Amino acid sequence: MIKIKDDIYWTGYIDWDLRNFHGYSTPSGSTYNAYLIMDEYPTLIDTVKHYGFQEMLFRIKQIIEPSKIKYIISNHTEMDHSGSIDKLLELAPQAQVVCSPKGQEGLKRHFKKNWKFKVVNTGDTLCIGKKTLSFFLMPMVHWPDSMATYSSLDKILFPNDAFGQHHASCERFADEVGVEIALKEAAKYYANIVMPYGSQVQKALDGLGKLTIDMICPSHGLIWRRKEDINAIVSLYQKWAQYESDKRAVIIYDTMWHSTEKVALKLYELCQQENISVKLLSLKTNDPSDIIADVMGAKIVAVGSPIINNKIFPSIGGFLTYLEGLKPKNRFGFTFGSYGWVKAGFAGLEDSLKNAGIELISEGRYFQYVPDEKELESLKDVVSKMKDVLERSREWQQTSLTHKRS
Ligand code: FEO
């Protein structure tokens, strides 16, 4: 266990081996953060994935006999946080499970048990001794049941998935690992987990903005404790919630016989000539969940595919299905590619981009078999449109934070 403040301990599980979290690549693993608050009524905030139970228990036992736990707060039903509640309740059968109304529904559906529930809503409080905890429902950040818990005495926010990152380390605080690493992981986390729910995130930020926050303890990864780090992550959440991006482009593609690659490389070359900040991302070498983080950071998204059996390439199809669900609003793009004898399949490529919420700035640029240099030069006009869009788009300005922090 690790003491994070007087009478508050981290008792989570470090998942060093995790490399995939429901399709999201996690090259540096993750953690499931549980927090034990020692007071008159000992309270555990969240648990860990089922296979981390023994490690969590070992940490709890360093502080208290588990049977003495009075409350288990379930901020979020997803099994990476609720997965050990059942085993813990076998050791602490008198404990009450504190959760949102949707949390109760979800936990009953997952566990089929009639536990002693204490259902809370926004503004409800729970006195556990010297400390009083309050609750804020945050539907869709990340599931309908999600909520945050706040300790006013400690000025600590426990927002579950919000502000989290998939990162395994011995260190518990962002400033110990390096805040740049934590922010980069937080961006990938937001892009892959929270991006579709910008308006709900903004609502949560508005509600939480009334609190004085000295520490943010998410349910994954590193804890934010320095004022400047809290400012940085909250400001980024405001930016992402509003679907703001940097003045940048990403070119995403896959290729069969290198023709689509030729188009991608020419676009990349022309962007550089126009001083457009651009990334070239092949689906052969980049993981889709990393590409999604780059999409979140870019204003322009160009996607290229070859045609096979009258359809777009399966890797691009899979990526676009994922992108359609994540809906990166307030972005512009176009499609490109190479075909053999029928180009009807490109209609699906354009439709997917539009379904993802990306506004098309040009008709698709498709070439039969192998594009020649003259054809590739014709891409200049679409690059010029990219430049126009980027010049017209406003630079993200960090507004003053509403958070009142000492
Ligand atoms: Fe970390 Fe939505 O669970």
Nearest CA to ligand 1 atom 1: 161
Q: Tell which residue, 260, 257, 308, has the closest CA to residue 280.
A: 260
Which ligand 1 atom lies nearest to the CA of residue 143? Answer: 2
CA distance 250 to 103: 38
In this structure, which residue's CA is closest to atom 3 in ligand 1? 78
Where do runs of H (alpha helix) occur along 140-249? 174-177, 179-189, 198-208, 227-241
Q: For residue 251, is pLDDT > 60?
A: yes
Identify the band that residue 400 occupies on the pLDDT scale cut at 50, 70 and 90.
very low
CA 103 to chain centre: 20
Residues with beta carbon inside 6 Å of ligand 1? 76, 78, 80-81, 142-143, 161, 219-220
Cα(158) to ligand 1 centroid in Å equals: 13
Report the chain's mean pLDDT, rounded to a whole number: 95
Angle between helices 179-189 and 288-297 (to 10 degrees): 100
Q: How far apart are CA 73 and CA 86, in angstroms?
A: 13
Task: Give the position, in ligand 1's atom list, of the atom nearest the Cα of 161.
Answer: 1
CA dist 323 and 291 (Å) reads: 10
- pLDDT tier, 1 (very low <50, low <70, confident <90, very high otherwise): confident
- How many angstroms separate the first and last alpha carbons of the chain? 28
> Cα-atom radius of gyration of the chain, to the nearest Å?
24
**What is the rounded average pLDDT of the residues 373-386?**
97
Q: Quote the tokens at residue 155.
A: 């000025």
Mean pLDDT of 96-107: 98
What is the percent of the chain with per-residue pLDDT over 70, rounded to a whole number?
98
Distance CA 180, CA 237 (A): 15
Q: Which residue has the tokens 């990162």?
A: 167
Catalytic, out of 145, 220, 261, 403 = 220
What pLDDT is attached to residue 397? 67
Mean pLDDT of 191-208: 95
34-43, 185-194, 298-307, 395-404: least confidently modelled range: 395-404
Task: Tell me what the mean pLDDT of segment 345-357 comes to.
Answer: 96
Active-site residue flag, 189: yes
Active site residue 258: no
142 given a catalytic annotation: yes
Quick one: pLDDT at residue 399?
54
For each of the domains in the chain, give its residue range(s) and CATH number, in order of start.
2-241 (3.60.15.10), 250-392 (3.40.50.360)
Gap from CA of 372 to ligand 1 centroid (Å): 48
Say what the pLDDT of residue 353 is.
Answer: 97
